[in-house]
Structure 1
Amino acid sequence: MPATRRGLLGLTAATLAAPSLALAQGVEISRAARFRVTTFAEGLDHPWGAALLPDGRMLVTERPGRLRVVGRDGRLSAPIAGVPQVLAQGQGGLLDVALGPDFLLSGEIFFSQAALVEGGALTRLVRARLSPDLARLLDVTPILDATPAQAQGRNHYGGRIAVALDGTLFLATGERYVTKMRAQRLDDLGGKILRLTREGAPAPGNPFIGQPGIGQAGARPEIWSYGHRNPQGLAFNPATGTLFEAEFGARGGDEVNIIRRGGNYGWPILTHGVDYDGSRIGEGSTRPDMEDAEMVWVPSVSPSGIAFHTGEIEAWRGDLFLACLNPPGLVRLAMQGDRVTGEERLLWNRTRFRDVIQGADGRLHILTDEAQGRILRIDPA
């Protein structure tokens, strides 16, 4: 582990774990800024992912299988018609949503879901078009299944989507929990970051096109990186174009990674955590032929969606924010380019946060993982 990251870990444990203070007037204090938190929208059932529409409204998924439009005033639309059936069991359901690179012309969107197929459950990527009135989905087409399907278990679907400037799609998939070594198999799409065309085909330039697997059948050409456990955060740094990923460890070992072409991120051979029964996993925490994480948390913070801030709070511009589930809160990673320089925990131990997105107003919006789910907005104080 690089010395700088060891130093950050020590600082996190010693001085930054306390929750931010709340004043009587509702002003929150961070080391860099003062802000308020207001409820922007409510009445959502376990919102999971969001995408910003060109006119400033948002598309928001609800894990039981609904997709809604949230107005700039926070009002919810009726559920959008035409969403296919999802497997809303365990950690599955309707997951992330992203706009196509030419959405203004095509109306095209992409969303991820848990799906039940012959042989079991898997993560699926779907393409569709939004009707001009945003009331229904048209031309709904599954374009990739993260095979093989798995009969047992309904956990670790991953599901986060990021769209690159060149229009290629990145999809994060979990290793589905039951068989950890799926993440290391190159003939298996579980536990990977996939790079795809808008048709769901392997994108040109992927590292394993035409390559054999490691003691396996041929490597899947969709794979961009592997050795991931359950990645639920995926975002490009707008300052550098670098793809960042956040994933859950087991008991400890949550990570933020810079995703590199062809990189092996180690799970389950390498981890900083232990299994839920306390037993050791793998052979250690670092190896020269595998990628080191940029940040590691022991104990866990359970990071889900992530976003870079470029908006209203000047002191936070360029920083990476992580929506965390357990313990619940918002992690701010201070950044200099792609380098993490510090960590701060905000709104700690309030409620479970599933995703964070920057709105058209330049303010961060946080999706809460609740049956009566909300979208919270962070305003400068």
Structure 2
Amino acid sequence: MILVTGADGYVGWPLMLKLSKTYPNERIVGVDHFGRRKWVEEIGSVSAIPIASMEKRLESARKHGMNNLSFVKEDLTNYEKVCQILQTFRPRVILHTAAQPAAPYSHVHAPLANFTQENNNRMCRNLLWAIRELGMEEDTHLVETTTTGVYGAPNFPIPEGYIEVKTDQGMDLLPYPGLATSWYHMSKMHDINNLSLASRLWELTVTDVRTAIVFGTGTKETRLDPDLATRFDFDFYFGVVANRFCAQALAGHPITLYGKGEQRKPMISLEDAVRSLVKAVELPRHKTMKVYNQMTVLASPKELAEAIQKATGNQGIQTEVTHLPNPRKENETHQMEMKNEGFLQDLLPDGASLPLQDEMEEMIRDLKPYQSVFVHYRDRFMQVE
């Protein structure tokens, strides 16, 4: 049995579907409390691609032969409920994708900064302790999606989780220090420390998949039926840069770059992110903590803007690119290097599904029917004062 947390989310729902197709004879159970739907509504935005209720989603999945899906509505910050879920299902693998995932949302004010860290860190601790107290250490593999944002922007190639430290006394392999630049990213740094501690204390098999910026409109499975679609956020708070740029272009709004926009960032398509998480299910029990940098491409916001400008041009839509003063403290020309050999070898051996330009072309084609939504909510592209 496989458990997916955050099963109603942008990544979690497509993951449920792909797991169902990959493991048709195994029960796939999702858990969520629909927080993402509420948070986006509270900031005055919507998913551009309409998303069905969980009941309709599961009904549609069954029509397409995915009969092994179940769902539990629950808040994983409640430790007793977490214990009940794990005791009931005894999962061999837990894919923990649940989180408040938006850095801008975590910076609105102190209560949301507190909420982000308390919510994310409590869920992780609850899962770790429930595994321990239910005696599931030997049988359960915990996979969590953290973030490449914990690395910051160093001026050397970023390793996959660990860094060699050499002194006159010798050499040691140490966890990469947390240099996160947001309250959200720091919440994931806290998770990483707790995952590492639990693995060392209890010999838990833990896989930390450090997820890059995920972009895209769907996967092979979500495109089978409109009721299987995953959400698509494009607002300032929850819309990642590629998704927001596509929305701006289709709304006739200039693509807005902060500063020069030349800093390279790690990215991965939704299809490849989900494919690699499904592959993580096959990893053997290793009783340690392994780290993978889940990324396929390093690209700058400027490069993304130019790719989207070309894609919209191919659809007969002329798009302007403008530069705004950068509200962030960052090196606007930083050329990040990130190692991902382990990720490509173990979790994405077939490589990326499509080149970046092709991905942008696909996104623009998929999103064109929703131009009116982007126009209506164009005030959500920028931060609300």
- Regarding TM over 0.5, the answer is no
Which one scores higher on RCO, CA 8 angstroms, separation ≥ 6?
A: 2
Give the TM-score, by structure 1 length.
0.29
More strand per residue:
1
Higher helix share: 2
